[in-house]
Amino acid sequence: MKPELIREVAARYLDEWIALEVTETNGKGDPVRGVVIAHGKDRDEVEDAIMRSSAKDIMTFYNGEVPIGADGVILYGDFPL
């Protein structure tokens, strides 16, 4: 699949968990573009897809109001914080 801007992916998948293989960051190291690995309402299913993926740098986030008790953004890989 072709890398897309994260904001374009987010516009398609409202109120879902989204996992992206990050392909581009900005000058501060923030993810800008990526390839969708998985998306859906069930966080566990999205995380299962991540575990099956060979992607190295992955960003997972909930694209909506974050459910109580959940983390809103999860980064896997080498991102400068």
Residue count (the chain): 81
Work out the pLDDT band at 68, boundaries 50, 70, 90.
Answer: confident
Range 61-65 average pLDDT:
85
pTM, entire model: 0.81
What pLDDT was estimated at residue 13? 97
Question: Is residue 39 predicted with pLDDT exceeding 90?
Answer: yes
Q: For the chain, which residues make up each domain, given as ranges?
A: 4-59
Helices (H), 15-77: 43-52
Range 39-61 average pLDDT:
93
**Residue 21 contacts residue 53 (beta carbons within 8 Å):** yes
What pLDDT was estimated at residue 81? 43
Range 31-60 average pLDDT:
94
